[in-house]
């Protein structure tokens, strides 16, 4: 890593129930999930510096979460679809790949248990159980240990 970086790791909002024969990739956000994502996005708008970009799992619920954050924060760059943010990809490769990028700040929209695994990989001895739309803010400092700066949930935001 050539610089300091903030990584915002967000679990997708609450999704519609899986009923009958379904494709898990296509499950959409529920009304509750859209509200959760909006709350976190508005919190980011008020409390965080501008993001350089958003990477999202290609699964619909994660992408919808990313789109809500993208719209509320008025991010000009496109959302990058990253297959390593879902179990179909190679999620174990993502942390080192991410730290090699030249972002100052980026948001990842993904799924459990991957979001918890990313935090554990980037911040040693840190375990976080993500509720839907939970957000971990990691501070990754050049030549220093990464740290979990903050963890917020939609239920904490008024």
pLDDT band at 24 (very low <50, low <70, confident <90, very high): confident
Per the CB < 8 A criterion, the answer to whether 10 and 65 are in contact is: yes
Reported as a single tens digit per residue, the pLDDT across 105-127 is 999 999 999 999 889 888 987 88
pTM of the model: 0.93
Could you tell me which of 110, 74, 73 has the C-alpha nearest to residue 91? 110
Tokens of 83: 């297959």
pLDDT value, residue 1: 45
Q: Using CA of residue 153, residue 91, residue 86, residue 8, what is the dihedral sign?
A: positive
């Amino acid at each position: 890593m050539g610089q300091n970086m903030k990584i915002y790791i967000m679990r997708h909002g609450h999704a519609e129930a899986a009923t009958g024969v379904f494709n898990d990739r296509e499950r959409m956000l529920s009304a509750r999930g859209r509200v959760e994502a909006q709350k976190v996005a508005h919190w980011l708008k008020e409390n965080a510096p501008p993001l350089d970009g958003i990477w999202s799992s290609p699964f619909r619920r994660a992408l919808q979460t990313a789109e809500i954050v993208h719209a509320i924060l008025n991010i000009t760059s496109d959302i990058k679809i990253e297959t390593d943010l879902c179990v179909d990809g190679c999620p174990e490769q993502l942390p080192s790949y991410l730290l090699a990028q030249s972002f100052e700040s980026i948001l990842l929209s993904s799924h459990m248990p991957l979001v918890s695994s990313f935090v554990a990989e980037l911040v040693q001895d840190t375990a976080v159980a993500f509720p839907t739309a939970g957000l971990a803010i990691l501070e990754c400092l050049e030549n220093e240990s990464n740290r979990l700066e903050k963890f917020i949930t939609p239920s904490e935001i008024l």
